[in-house]
């Protein structure tokens, strides 16, 4: 699930679910497992909303792209890519936060979260983009099997075809993270301060849902450009990957409505995903860290 992400150390002296906010070293294995479990859960549960969003954004229009038929088309690609994609993001995010260790009261803390999230997105997109290319083409061509689409991309475009839209995906994910993560961390810190104790897992999930939904709305035009680039015919101008050109083309033909196509299913999926994802991540990671501390 794009843009929906994780929970690590708290922005303040408060930490979530009893996990210490100041870590001496990243809990890499805990981040790997927790991130993967959370990522797979969200991608599979909310996949129909993602399919509807993709079809609303597709050049041929919602009905011609499949309408409400075959809403799980392409799910094998999402299932295969979900765990490594989420794990790559979480481990990178955790490591960069640890590497840029800053006192929790420092005014630089929001910048640290932004840099960590951006680095995580750049790394995760190396896994996410090939999966996304195959998934989205399957979503708008539900009669074609996932492996058949994968083979066609390799045959017609080679490895570069699997990475078509890498730049547009990164340009979508980094602004998303720059909005979502500082907002998420700030909401948790504010909530913890007002109740004078650490936020519970469900409270972190509520903060994540709000932060993710807001970030989803403001970055929808970039998501539309990414979809158009990935679905464009081989050799077309849109397939070249120029984000500004793709945005201009949508604006010229469909106006503002086209730039925000799919905003409602996208926002719903990411808000619900933020609740499930961030809550599942925190719960799983806290449990793993507690088990690790209890083992000899």
Tens-place pLDDT, residues 74-131: 999 988 888 888 778 878 887 888 888 766 556 677 778 778 878 888 998 999 999 9
What tens digit of pLDDT does each residue of 44-71 get? 889 999 999 999 999 999 999 999 999 9
Q: Is the confidence at residue 23, as pLDDT, over 50?
A: no
The pLDDT of residue 3 is: 41
Q: Which residues of 52-63 are buried (b: 16+ CB within 10 A; e: fewer)?
A: bbbbbbbbeebe
What is the pLDDT, as a whole number, of residue 126? 93
| Confidence (pLDDT) at 20 | 31
Region 120-148: mean pLDDT is 90
pLDDT digits (tens, 9 = 90+) for 205-218: 788 888 889 999 99
143-150: long-range contacts (C-beta < 8 A, 24 or more apart)? 146/74, 146/75, 146/76, 146/77, 147/76, 149/74, 150/77
Q: What is the pTM of this model?
A: 0.78
Superfamily, domain 3-294: Mitochondrial carrier domain (1.50.40.10)
Q: pLDDT class for 294, splitting at 50, 70, 90?
A: low
The pLDDT value recorded for residue 279 is 65
Q: What is the pLDDT of residue 35?
A: 66
Average pLDDT over residues 150-176: 91
- Per-residue pLDDT of 233-286, as tens digits, reads 888 888 888 999 999 999 999 999 999 999 999 999 988 876 777 667 767 777
pLDDT score for 21 = 37
């Amino acid at each position: 699930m794009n843009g929906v992400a994780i929970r690590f150390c708290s922005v303040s002296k408060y930490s979530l679910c009893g996990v210490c906010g100041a870590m001496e070293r990243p809990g890499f294995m805990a981040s790997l497992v927790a991130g993967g479990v959370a990522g797979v859960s969200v991608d599979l549960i909310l996949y129909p909303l993602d399919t509807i969003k993709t079809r609303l954004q597709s050049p041929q229009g919602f009905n011609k792209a499949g309408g409400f038929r075959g809403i799980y088309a392409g799910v094998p690609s999402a299932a295969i890519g979900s765990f490594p994609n989420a794990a790559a993001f979480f481990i990178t995010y955790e490591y960069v936060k640890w590497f840029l260790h800053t006192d929790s009261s420092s005014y630089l803390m929001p910048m640290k979260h932004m840099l960590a999230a951006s680095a995580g997105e750049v790394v995760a997109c190396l896994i996410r983009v090939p999966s996304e290319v195959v998934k989205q083409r399957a979503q708008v061509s539900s009669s074609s099997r996932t492996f058949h689409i994968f083979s066609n991309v390799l045959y017609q475009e080679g490895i570069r075809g699997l990475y078509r839209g890498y730049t547009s995906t990164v340009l979508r994910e980094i602004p998303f993270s720059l909005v979502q993560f500082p907002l998420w961390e700030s909401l948790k810190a504010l909530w913890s301060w007002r109740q004078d104790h650490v936020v519970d897992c469900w409270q972190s999930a509520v903060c994540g849902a709000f932060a993710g939904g807001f970030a989803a709305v403001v970055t929808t035009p970039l998501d539309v450009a990414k979809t158009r680039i990935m679905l464009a015919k081989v050799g077309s101008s849109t397939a070249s990957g120029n984000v500004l050109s793709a945005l201009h083309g949508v604006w010229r033909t469909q106006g503002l409505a086209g730039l925000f196509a799919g905003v409602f299913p996208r926002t719903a999926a990411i808000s619900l995903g933020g609740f499930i994802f961030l809550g599942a991540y925190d719960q799983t990671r806290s449990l793993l860290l507690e088990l690790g501390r209890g083992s000899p």
